[in-house]
Structures are given as structure tokens and as C-alpha cells.
Amino acid sequence: MTEAAFTPRVFSGIQPTGHLHLGNYLGALKRFVETQNEGVESLYCMVDLHAITVWQEPEALRRATRELTAGFIASGLDPEKSILFNQSQVAEHAQLAWIFNCVARMGWMKRMTQFKDKAGKHAEQASLGLFAYPALMAADILVYHATHVPVGEDQKQHLELTRNIAAKFNHDYGVDFFPDTQPVIEGAATRVMSLRDGEKKMSKSDSSDMSRINLTDDADTIAKKIRKAKTDPAPLPEAPDGLLDRPEARNLVNIYAALSDRSVDQVMGEMGGKPFSEFKPALADLAVDRIAPISTEMERLMQDPAEIDCILARGADRARGIAAPILHRTYEIVGMVGAGGA
């Protein structure tokens, strides 16, 4: 393996916990499809080991992993072109994560805001896995020497940690083995906000289902959620800078831009100055047009779970083919007997 010559390779993952929502679609899935279609080698992973850092009912986890896979495919990922698999079928992730647990420093981990958000006031009751979560995420990426990771804004800090772990490993062992992975956080919708509160991220854990559009929602539900989305009474501003202090309006414009593959400037050129009574129906039509077919296709794919399992098993074989030699070489660098070396 030639070290320091890193061919472009994309990796990203989504947790199989609950339904996919519009934030996952615009911040991640839609961009995965664009990357796949640019022809870069891409791996997309259902991160089931990450999911169990908080309690998951086994049956619900199995279903969510299959549903997530269906969501990937229904969004346009082609299992022949991209490698689609679930994390636990490729043991190399967990194996490299252990090495990274020994590279990452406690101080780094304690600064992770996602842990603080998720553990809240009950950090003593949180699992050790939840604390170590970002080291496993670094392993997901680096076990493939991935050079680019498309994600939403909320994953930025984890990707900085990934780069720190790679740099410390390279430095400690005097090698240039792991790449300096680049986060790819691009587009109008890297942080889609709740439809009920423009200051809060759209998320699966929000107790209000009206706060998000799920990829499993049917056309009527999607339209209703947009109709009822919180807004202020003023019409849309004439120009984009008028959106700065209007979080709800800004969020809906960003969603419109991302769904229609246009820039915010272009959308404002068309919609600026219009009242929400005109803008919302246009947005609802667009969202139904883009999301409802995904939901229908997911439902169809979920009729055949055996086929989904087959796709994941095939993807895992292909993924292992890349990960195994990288893990082997890592063991060799670290000094594990049996992995080669003097």
C-alpha cells in the first residue's frame, strides 16, 4: 500500500434511529447521490454500532436499518455504483475504533458538544459508548482512508476530531498513513431547522412530528406540515439579507433552494416580496414533488426485506475488501504480533 498517496474516496454514515427527515435528505442523502453521480468511489453506511450508544429495541433497530437502506436507495443511491452496508457487518470499524480510543485524549472527547447535548444533565448515566462515539466515527472514515465526508453542519466538530486523531496517529508513529480528511458541508441546506422553531435544528428526537418532514410522510402530510410551518406575518423580504433576522423565513427559503437545486439568490429573485400565502403553496408543491416519490419507493422496497439484507451483505463484502488491508497495516504500524513487521 502506498502511503501518502490518497485517491479520492467518499465515506458518510447515518444512524438507523427513527425515520429519515428532510434535514437528513438535504444535508446528506441528496448530496450523497450527487457525489455518486460524479463517479467518485463512495461508501455509505448505516451506522448501527453508533445507534446503540443510546438504547434501541432490537426489533426496532433491525427495522430502522432496513428502512434507512430503503431510504438510501429510494433517494437515488445505486448499490452497484456506491457501496451500501451496515457498520456492524464490517468488524474493522470497531477494531480500528479501539486503536483510536487509545489515540484520542480525554480532553478532546470532553469538548464534544454532541455528547453534552445528548447526555444532558445525566452524563453519569450515559453509556461509555456515547462518550467514545466520535472515535468510532473517526474509525468509520479512516478505515477506508476516505478523503471526503459529506455531512450536515452538526457533524463539523466530529470531523475536526477525526483529523486530530489522524494527525496524532501519524505523528506518534512517525508515518503518513491516515489522510487529512476534508468535511464537505455545502449547499443551501446544511442545517435545516425545525418547522416549528427556526432556532432549533430539525431532528428525529423532537417530540413534535409537525417540526419535521419525514421521508415516510405521504403527500397530504407533507403539504399540511408546510402549510402549518411557523412564519412571521411579514411577506418575504425583497433581498436575501432581509432574511438574516428572520429564522423561519430563512429556513423555508433555504429548503426551497435546496429542493429546487437553485441558490438562495435565485429563489429570492423569484419569490422576494411575496406573501407566505403564495410562497408556502409553491414550497408545498415542490416538497411533495421531490419527497413523496421517495416515500412511495421506500414502502415498495420495504416489502422485500430479504433483498435489502442481500444488498447490505454484498456491500459489506466490498467494504471489507478495502478496510481489511488498511486495518492490517495499522496493526503492523502499532506493533501487533501477527500483523507482520520486523
Q: Which residues are near ligand TYM by CB under 6 A? A: 11-15, 23-24, 27-28, 47, 50, 137, 140-141, 149, 151-152, 154-155, 158, 190-192, 201-203
Minimum CB–partner distance for residue 14 and ligand TYM (Å): 4
Of 193 and 284, nearer to ligand TYM (C-beta) is: 193
Q: How far is the CB of 47 from ligand TYM (least distance, A)?
A: 4
Residues 30, 201, 225, 280: which is the catalytic one? 201
Measured from the CB atom, the residue of 86 and 330 that comes closer to ligand TYM is 86
Q: Which residue is nearest to ligand TYM (CB)?
A: 27
The least CB distance from residue 136 to ligand TYM, in Å, is 7
Q: How far is the CB of 26 from ligand TYM (least distance, A)?
A: 6
Indicate if 201 belongs to the active site. Answer: yes
Give the up-direction half-sphere exposure of residue 334: CA atoms within 13 A in the CB hemisphere.
19
The Cα 290–Cα 293 span in angstroms is 7
Which of 118, 156, 168, 230 is flagged as catalytic?
118
Amino acid at 69: T
Active site residue 228: no
Active site residue 280: no
Among candidate residues 156, 168, 204, 230, the one labeled active-site is 204
Contact call for residues 261 and 280 (beta carbons, < 8 A): no
Q: Which is nearer to ligand TYM, 12 or 170 (CB)?
A: 12
Nearer to ligand TYM, 57 or 342 (CB): 57
Smallest separation (angstroms) from ligand TYM to the CB of 245 = 20
Q: Catalytic residue positions?
A: 118, 201, 204
